[in-house]
Each structure stands twice: as structure tokens, then as C-alpha cells.
Amino acid sequence: MKTFSFPEDFLFGTATAALQIEGGDKNNNWYEWCELGKITDGTHCIVANDHWNRVEEDIDLMKQLNSQTYRMGIEWSRIEPKPNEYNKEAMDHYRDEIEQLIKAGIHPLVTLHHFTNPLWLEKKGAWTNSEAIDHFLNFTNYVVDQLGDIVSDWVTINEPNVYLTSGYFLGLFPPGEKGSTLTYFKAAKNMILAHLKAYKLIHKKRKEKNLTGTKVGVAHHLRIFEPKNGTRLEKLSCKLISRSFQGIFLEGMTLGKLISPVGSGYPEGKGVFVDFIGINYYSRDIIEGTFNPLVMFGNRLVKEGAPTNDLDWEIYPEGIYRLCKDVYAKYNLPIYITENGTCDANDDFRTKYIYDHLFYLHRAIAEGVPVQRYYHWTLMDNFEWLEGFSARFGLIKCNFDTLERVIRRSGHFYSELCKEKAVTDSIYEKYKDSF
């Protein structure tokens, strides 16, 4: 199939995280991580894209991309620089940004936690400390008080599995611990409980103001895990990795059910604790060799001969279809693709990447899976965590010396696709050399 279309009510947009684009904030764990020289390419988050001072310019770029929705983060450390002390000026800045988005016809989806912690929370052990639950609820309560009248859609926590794996198991993110399996599961339980309580809190506060249409979810990083040789040990490793990396969060945050090794039972009661399931999809892992708990139960490889991006991640479009089918079959809830994109500095294959992944999303929808939104990662090249500025995921190219933004060819393709909610004959002919 060369052409395909999406439902009229389907929403296309882009996603970003606050720290990765804003600049100017020194009160968070990633600023400290940069100061310690932990970023692979030696760059720093202190300026990033300077989005904090360029909101109007960047919203204009979103309009040029024909975005209908935008997933944005708000930086906890800006809003609550000290425990229970709130920065109204920062909060007003976010409110103004969201009002500008709404005026531009772009529907906001606001993320409350995306990898970053205020330094005061980090020094208390962050999510390894159960006090983080109440701190997060206090933060959420304040933010919803300030924004709840204009924001209906929320992501409580982004990729808790990546945050914890990278920070407490691989040592790549702050605080840089390695092999802390018990710490990983302890913090995972705290993040699950925080989401469950935040879900109920957001709904309660908006309902008290007679506001309807509230949607709260989690952005889960989901992957396909497959055995290389099909041995029993490899198959066991795949199951254990999937359970530890994503299963505990899907069950816990969706149904409120704690499963081993996080815990057991329903601490907030039985129910459904999301209004949509957010899927961040990038790649799959091939699992080889013997059972190895020291590397989260197995060695992860890229399939031999498979296409890869600049970070050597396999490009596997069918995975987005498989995950959507599996998640819907299990939970029977609407799905948002809260992130999907690729690292491609020269823009050599991003257009094809988008085309192929959206083809598989179209297929899932045609088979009855209620995928309702697609957020491309990301709007523009930014501070890509451990890789700094060297990893280029943007539809828009950013010159980090001048901060000039230029829409890439893949961005123009995406803009036309968003406008039509389809790959039409004319769009296909125009870009077919990239497919």
C-alpha cells in the first residue's frame, strides 16, 4: 500500500521534555550531571534550545508543521525550587505558553515528570525514598490548581523504566548507580504508587470545578524482546526482561495491581487508573545467551543485518503495530503514541521511518485498535540526555551555536501528512524517493 489515511478525529503532533529544550535552570539533577562532565559529547543543558525565551517562535514552527497537539513537559525544579515553596513567575510562564498553544489551535498534553528531579529531592534519594510520593502529589496539586482550568490532558510520569534502569542499574543517568536491582524495584513501586494517587487527584480536582473531558495517563517506553536462537533460557530471559522492564509498570499504573517483584495486591483499590495508554516506541532487542541477572536478565543485541539509526538502534516499524495490538488486547483502552522517532543527523531516513511506522499504525487502526494520537519525537534537535547535542531526533534542525531553527525535509513531509491526515497520492509522489 502506497497511500493510507487516518480518522478525522486522529491528532498528530510532536513531543518534547522541558529540560531538553528550555535552558536556564540550575536547580535540577541533570544540570548537576552536566557539571560533573557526564555527557558523552561534553555539551551542557544550561542553554539547550533556549525555548524558555523563544516560545512564540517555536509555536510558530509547530503551526508550520500543522501540529494539532503538542506534548510538553513542565520542569518541577523551576516550579518548586524548595519543598512546598512555589515559583509563581515560572508557573505563569507555563500558563502563558499553554494559552499561546491553545490560541494557535494546538491541544496541549502536559507531562509532570520526565526524568528530572529538583536537587532538593535528588539529595533525599529521589524516588528511592517513599517521601517522593507525597512530594510529587504536592507538586501535582499545585500545578493542577494553576493549570487545571485550561489543561485537560496529562501524563503523570514519562518512561519510569528508562529513568530507573539508566539511573540505578546502568549508571548512565543521575545518580549513576550500577546494578542496584533492589533499588530499581523499590523506586519502581514508589513511582507506581505516585501515579495511582496523582491520577485520582487530577480527576478529583477537575471534577470539583465541574470540568469534564479529563484524560490522565503514563508514557510507557515499550520494546519488543525476542530470543536470538530460540533456546529455553533465551525465552525465559525475554519474559523476565519484559516483566521487569515494562510489565510491572503497565500492570501497576493501568490496573493498580502490584506484581512480583514490586509487591502484590491493589494498594489503591481495584480499578482502571489511566484514561489512555501512552506508548513510546523506538526499537526491539534481540536477547542472546544464558540467563544473566546482572544485565537485567539477558544480553541485548541488534538483529544481524537489520537497518539501524545513528545510535545503532534497530529500525523495526512492525514493532509499533505488534505492541499496539498486544496492549489493546490486554487492557482494552485507547492508545496514544506519546513518542516515536529516530536519531538521524543527516535526515537520510527519517521520512521513511515516519512513513513506515505510520503505515503500521494505520494497519492497527484498521484492525480495530483505538490508536487516537501520534506524537513525533521530537519537534527539534535538543539536549538528548546522555548523548547531549550529538543525537539528532528533530523534525527541525537546530544550530546550537546560533540557535537557528530550520525545518528538515522530513519535517515538511510530516507537515503535509498532518494537514491531510493521510499520505495522499501527491504526497507519496513528492517524497517517494525517500521511501
Catalytic residue set: 159, 339
Closest CA to 47 of 33, 62, 60, 31: 31
Q: Which residues pair with 422 in a beta bridge?
A: 5
Per the listing, cell 490560541 goes with 103
Long-range contacts of 272-275 (CB under 8 A, 24+ apart): 272/333, 273/195, 273/196, 273/199, 273/200, 274/199, 274/216, 274/217, 274/218, 274/333, 275/214, 275/215, 275/216, 275/217, 275/333, 275/334
Q: Is 381 left (phi over 0), alpha (psi -120 to 50) or beta?
A: beta
Contact 94, 148 (CB under 8 A): no
Q: What is the largest CA-CA distance in the chain?
A: 58
- How far is it, in rounded angstroms, from Cα 70 to Cα 68? 7
CA 62 vs CA 15, 59, 151, 326, 381: distances in Å:
11, 5, 18, 32, 14
C-alpha 435/C-alpha 431 separation (Å) is 7
CA–CA distance, 158 with 143 (Å, rounded to integer): 17
DSSP per-residue string spanning 323-348: HHHHHHHHH---EEEEEE----TT-S
